[in-house]
Amino acid sequence: MKSGDKYIPLKKLNEIKELALKNPEKFWGEQARCLDWNKTWDKVLEWKPPYAKWFVNGRLNACYNCVDRHILTSKRNKAAIIWVAENGDTKIMTYYELYRKVNKFANVLQNLGVETGDRVAIYMPMIPEAAIAMLACARIGAIHTVVFSGFSADALAERINDAQAKVLITSDLLYRRGKKINLKNIVDKALLNCPTINHTVYVKRNSDLKLVEGRDYSWEELMKGAKNYIDPIPVDSNHPLFILYTSGTTGKPKGVVHSTGGYMVYTTKTMEWTWGVNDMDVFWCTADIGWITGHSYVVYAPLALGTTIVMYEGAIDYPNPGRIWEIIENHGVTILYTAPTAIRMLMTYGEEWVKNHDLSTLRILGSVGEPINPRAWKWYYEVVGNRRCPICDCYWQTETGGHIIYPPIGIQNIPLKPGSATFPGIGIDADIVDESGNSLPANKKGLLIIKNPWPGMLIGLWKNNKRYEEAYWKRVPNCYCPSDYAIKDEDGYFWILGRADEVLNVAGHRIGTAELEHVLVSHHAVAEAAVIGKPDDIKGEVPVAFVILNKNFHDKNKKELKEELIKYVKETMGPIATPHMILFVNKLPKTRSGKIMRRVLKKLIMSEELGDLSTIEDNTSIEEVKKELMDFEYR
C-alpha cells in the first residue's frame, strides 16, 4: 500500500479495510512505518473512551519527517514549495533550502525563549514563511496555533489568550485582490489585550514598517544571526503538535488539539491513499494554512512524502478568472484540491477561461470543505478534468485530522457518484443513525457517526475536557458524532447533507439549509445559493434564499425565474421547503477562505447590526444584498 500503486484489486482493498477494523493495532502499527521514529512505541493504541493515545511512548519529530529525511535522498534539490504571488511573482524553494530556513528559524524561536511545550501563535498570509514557522515550532517541540489572517484583532487576541502563546509570528502586510491589507494595525490592536506575548516577529514587506522596541523584531534580521543547524527534538507521540481553533454553534471557539504521532501517521497515509502521490506530482491545495486543510494537506502530509506543493497568495480569480488555470498550466500541477464554493464561482465565468489553458498535466481533482452538488461535480469533471480526471470528494473536519470519507483513488480505481464522498476510509467504522443511535436503512437521513478511534482524531480540546466530551461524544453515546446529517444509499455510498445544527424548523418540519441549497444549485439557472431562516409568526421559521444566476440567465425575467425556482423546489423537496423569499444577487458575502457568511445574511434580513466583518472578502457584497432587499420591499 505505497503511494503510486496502480491499482490494488477491490477485493484486496476490502480485505485491508476489514483488517484495519478487526485488528487496528496490527494494521496501524504497520502503517506507522511511513514515518521515521526515534523510539518505537510500546503499544499501538490505548483506548479509554473517549480518549485515545496512539503509539504509546513512541518518540519522533514532525519537522524531521517533513524536511531532514529528504535531504539525505535524491529529493535534496527537489522543489518543496512553489510560491506564487497575486502579481505573478514566483519563488521556488528546494527541500534543502527549506531545511536551512527551518533550522535557522527554529534557533530564532529558541533565542526568543521558546521551549518545548510552549505555544507560538502564527498569523500570516500564504507565504513560505508560514510553513517555515510551523515546521520550526515542531522542530523544537513548541505547539503552534495558526490563526487565519482574515480574523479580526479581537478574534486573534481571543485565540492567543486561550492558548497563552508566548510569541507571535506575523507579517506587516498581506495582498488580496490587488489591495494591501495592513496586518500590523490588527496585530497592534490585538496585543493591547495579550499579556502572555513577549515577542512578535514580522516578515517585513513594507519598508515603512515601524517596530515596537523590545517587543517587535524583523524576521530577516533575526535570521541573520541564527545558527544553521539545531537538533530536532524528539517528542512523545502524544505530545501536542498544534492547537487549531474552530467555531462552535455557541460559545467561544474550541481549541482542537492534535497529537504528533497519530496525526502525522494518519495525514500521511490518507495523502497516499487518496492521491497516490509520486515523485513527479505537483500538488496544489488552495486552502489557507489558517484552516485544518492547510495544516494537513498543504504542509504536513505533502512534505512528509517529499511532494512539491504550490502555495498561492491571493484570490484564485484575480486579476482575471483564468488565474487558477494559468498557475496550473505554468507549473504543471497534477493534483488540484479546492472547495465547491470555488468551483461554483469559477463556473459562473464560463468554460472559455478554462479552455484557454493547457491543463493536460492534471490527473486527479479534489473537493473539500462542504458537500459538492452534482452539477458542480459534473462541470469540474467534464470541463476542468476533460472527462479523464477522477474527482476525490473528501469529507472530514478540523477534529478528524484527515479525510474520513473519501474514495481511495490513489490505490483503487473506484466507481464514483457525483455528489457522494463514497465510502468510509480505511480504518474508519462509520454509520448513519437516528437520534437514539439506531442504525438506519438505506436512503434514510440521519446522523453520521464513527464507532471507533483512528490515529488522526483530536486528542481533546485545549484545557477543556468537559466540552470535548459533550461536543462530540454525548449526542450518540460511545460514538464520535460530528453533528452532520448524511444518508447511505443502497450501494453503501455516503452522501453528506450538511450540519445537523444548521437546520430550519418550518411548521415543525426540520429542513437542512444545505439540502435546500443543493436543490437550488441543481437547477440549470443557478450558479450558487445560500439559504437562511427568517422568523415567522405562523411557521416559526421560513426559508430565505439568496441566489446567484448563471451568466446566461442574467437578462431573463426575474419574476418568471422566481416562480420557476419555487415550483422546482416544491417538486424536488416538497411544499414545506418553499422559499418565502428568493433574492437575486451578483455576490454573496464570503470570507477570504470562500465560506458564505450566512450570519451576515441573516442580520441583513433582520435589519440588525452586522457585527465583525474583518474576515469578509468583498465589502461590496453587503451593498449588493442591501440593494436587492430594498428593491424587494419596494416591489
Q: Yes or no: say if 86 and 319 are a contact pair by the CB < 8 Å rule.
A: yes
Q: Yes or no: say if 260 and 250 are a contact pair by the CB < 8 Å rule.
A: no
Nearest residue to 288 (alpha-carbon basis) of 277, 279, 280, 299: 299
**281 vs 299: CA distance, rounded Å:** 15
Given this model, what pLDDT does residue 314 score? 93
Q: What is the pLDDT of residues 18-65, one digit of tens each?
A: 999 999 999 999 999 999 999 999 999 999 999 999 999 999 999 999
Q: What is the pLDDT of residues 107-149, one digit of tens each?
A: 999 999 999 999 999 999 999 999 999 999 999 999 999 999 9
For range 337-346, the mean pLDDT? 90
Which residues have a Cβ under 8 Å from the Cβ of 144 and sit 6 or more positions away? 119, 120, 121, 122, 133, 134, 137, 138, 241, 242, 243
Whether residue 4 is predicted with pLDDT greater than 50 in this model: the reply is no
**Phi/psi-derived region of residue 113, left when phi > 0, alpha when psi is between -120 and 50, beta in every other case:** left
For range 378-394, the mean pLDDT? 96
Over 374-402, what HEC string results? HHHHHHHHHHHCCCCCCEEECECCCCCCC
- The mean of the pLDDT values for the chain is 92
Q: What is the pLDDT of residues 422-443, one digit of tens each?
A: 999 999 999 999 999 999 999 9
pLDDT band at 88 (very low <50, low <70, confident <90, very high): very high
Q: What is the CATH number of domain 502-634?
A: 3.30.300.30
Whether residue 489 is predicted with pLDDT greater than 50 in this model: the reply is yes
Given this model, what pLDDT does residue 3 score? 39
**119 vs 112: CA distance, rounded Å:** 12
* Preceding amide of 374 cis, omega within 30: no
Whether residue 635 is predicted with pLDDT greater than 70 in this model: the reply is no
For range 608-625, the mean pLDDT? 84
What percentage of the chain has pLDDT greater than the value 70? Answer: 97
Whether residue 329 is predicted with pLDDT greater than 80 in this model: the reply is yes
Which residues have a Cβ under 8 Å from the Cβ of 123 and sit 6 or more positions away? 146, 147, 149, 151, 156, 168, 169, 170, 183, 187
Whether residue 499 is predicted with pLDDT greater than 80 in this model: the reply is no
Note the residue count of the chain. 635
Q: What is the pLDDT of residues 346-383, one digit of tens each?
A: 999 999 999 999 999 999 999 998 888 888 999 999 99
pLDDT band at 248 (very low <50, low <70, confident <90, very high): low
Given this model, what pLDDT does residue 6 score? 58
More confident residue, 450 or 603: 450
**430 vs 452: CA distance, rounded Å:** 8
Residue 65: CB atoms within 10 Å: 24
Q: What is the pTM of this model?
A: 0.88
pLDDT band at 624 (very low <50, low <70, confident <90, very high): confident
pLDDT band at 633 (very low <50, low <70, confident <90, very high): low
For range 332-349, the mean pLDDT? 93
For range 456-481, the mean pLDDT? 95
Given this model, what pLDDT does residue 504 score? 80
**Which fold does the domain 10-315+394-486 belong to in CATH?**
Rossmann fold (3.40.50)
Which residues have a Cβ under 8 Å from the Cβ of 101 and sit 6 or more positions away? 93, 128, 132, 223
pLDDT band at 596 (very low <50, low <70, confident <90, very high): confident
Domain boundaries, the chain: 10-315+394-486, 502-634
